[in-house]
Amino acid sequence: MINANANPESQRMEITSDQALTNDDIRLLNEKIVQESKKLKPGWVAAVDFRGMWVTDPFLNEGFQQLQRTLLECGAQKIGTLLDSDPIRMRLAQAGLKTRSNEITQRFYDPGVWEKFITQR
């Protein structure tokens, strides 16, 4: 399941995927991020949970770049990504080099440390 939900009270967007993303999934997720970001003020936090996600598409890096660009363009100031996969982590980091999102992103395997990061201002 993929989803993006804004929480205006905490100025945070919860973004989740526990599946392999197709090009259509990436497009839909980008659209949802744009829509939900309108509920938030610039400088919001992206809380990304990609546990359970796996890679089936050799062009996933391009999809990750699209997602990262959307987050940046929509006003995310900080991105915390929770993972359970080294290949996904590597692909996110590679994509982040091109989008420069690595400058505001940290990636985690521990949900407690991730939660602490995304709740700190």
Would you list the domain boundaries of the chain? 2-110
Nearest to 17 by CA among 28, 4, 1: 1
Q: 105: phi > 0 → left, psi -120 to 50 → alpha, else beta; which?
A: beta
- Neighbour order of strands in the sheet with 44-49: 2-7, 12-17, 44-49, 76-82, 105-108
Question: What three-state secondary structure class fits 22?
Answer: coil
pLDDT score recorded for residue 115 = 95
> Is the CATH number 3.30.750.24 carried by domain 2-110?
yes
pLDDT score recorded for residue 5 = 97
51-101 pLDDT, tens digit per residue, is: 999 888 778 889 999 999 999 999 999 999 999 999 999 999 999 999 999
- DSSP assignment of 63-85 equals HHHHHHHHHHHTTEEEEEEE-S-
